[in-house]
């Protein structure tokens, strides 16, 4: 089977994190306030996991040309605003694929599986 490999740059801004917090109702201070996040041991506020999944879903939809019928994500590491990230995707001719959102240090932030057809990955 032929696999298409894509590398898509991704960055989430502090403004996106705050906007997502207000839209979702998840106003946990580690997401909303850099000082509160530092008090909990983080170097800055951290992005919401579901915000990152949504951003990845949007990029996968663009790559597939349509919305995936299924998408699963495993959150592996923290995402900070303004980090240069890379979404690495492998997509089969049938629309089945997997990917990783990679941080600047090479660590996987989010591991993804997706496909055009619904059902479990």
Look at residue 117 in the predicted model and tell me its pLDDT. 86
- Cα separation, 100 vs 111, in Å, equals 5
Question: What confidence category does residue 120 fall into, taking pLDDT thresholds of 50, 70 and 90?
Answer: low
37-86, pLDDT tens digit by residue?
Answer: 999 999 999 999 999 999 999 999 999 999 999 999 999 999 999 999 99
pTM, 2 dp = 0.91
Question: What confidence category does residue 1 fall into, taking pLDDT thresholds of 50, 70 and 90?
Answer: low
Look at residue 2 in the predicted model and tell me its pLDDT. 82
Look at residue 57 in the predicted model and tell me its pLDDT. 96
Class at the top of the CATH hierarchy for domain 3-12+47-115: alpha beta
11-41, pLDDT tens digit by residue?
Answer: 999 999 999 999 999 999 999 999 999 999 9
74-101, pLDDT tens digit by residue?
Answer: 999 999 999 999 999 999 999 999 999 9
Domain locations along the chain: 3-12+47-115
């Amino acid at each position: 089977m032929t696999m298409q490999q894509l590398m898509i740059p991704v960055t989430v801004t502090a403004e996106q994190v705050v906007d997502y917090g207000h839209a979702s109702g998840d106003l946990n201070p580690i997401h909303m306030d850099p000082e509160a996040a530092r008090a909990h041991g983080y170097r800055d506020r951290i992005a919401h996991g579901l915000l990152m999944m949504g951003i990845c879903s949007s990029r996968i939809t663009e790559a597939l040309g349509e919305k995936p019928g299924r998408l699963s994500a495993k959150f592996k590491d923290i995402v900070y605003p303004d980090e240069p990230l890379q979404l690495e995707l492998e997509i089969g001719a049938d629309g089945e694929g997997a990917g990783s959102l990679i941080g600047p240090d090479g660590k996987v932030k989010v591991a993804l599986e997706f496909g055009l057809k619904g059902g479990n990955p």
